[in-house]
Amino acid sequence: MHHTLILHVLRLQPGDDVRAALQSAFKQLRTQGHQAACVLSAVGSLSQAVLRHAAQPQGDVLDEPLELITLSGTLSLDGPHLHASVADARGRLCGGHVMPGCTVRTTAEIVLGLLPGWKFTRAHDA
């Protein structure tokens, strides 16, 4: 089965929450019939990141200027599943699951790939 990848570009502004902005954008894209998307590229800066590390119940807050090094993941009817890595002013990297509270400092440019014909589902695993 052949499907065409459709690109959708977001430019987030200072103060925007990365996760909430992606959820909002995908909610609008769903009205056009899209049920699945993935993050293809992202660059930007954050004033704060909240990242949850493996097997931890909640996220760690990094409250300092950060460069968004990578953002990957999927958007589905079940919500976003996003991972990111960020670097501090000394270049030290930290990564994890993107939680609410990852706040844009100057800008974030994110390229989404919309995936016609695909549908991601996630069942909660306690």
Give the model's pLDDT for residue 74: 96
* CB-count burial class (<10 Å; 0-12, 13-18, 19+) for 88: middle
Q: Using one digit for the tens of pLDDT, what is the confidence trace for 59-69? A: 999 999 999 99
Tell me which of 95 and 126 has the higher pLDDT: 95
> What residue segments make up the domains of the chain, in order of their start?
6-114
Assigned CATH class of 6-114: alpha beta
Q: State how beta strands 103-114 and 36-52 pair.
A: antiparallel
59 CB contacts (<8 Å, ≥6 apart)? Answer: 50, 51, 52, 96, 97, 99, 101
Q: Using one digit for the tens of pLDDT, what is the confidence trace for 71-86? A: 999 999 888 999 999 9
Q: Tell me which amino acid residue 31 is.
A: T
- Whether residue 38 is predicted with pLDDT greater than 60 in this model: the reply is yes
Global model pTM greater than 0.95? no
C-alpha dist (Å) from residue 12 to 15, 18, 24, 81? 9, 8, 12, 19
Which among 118, 35, 17, 16 has a CA at the least distance from the CA of 77? 35
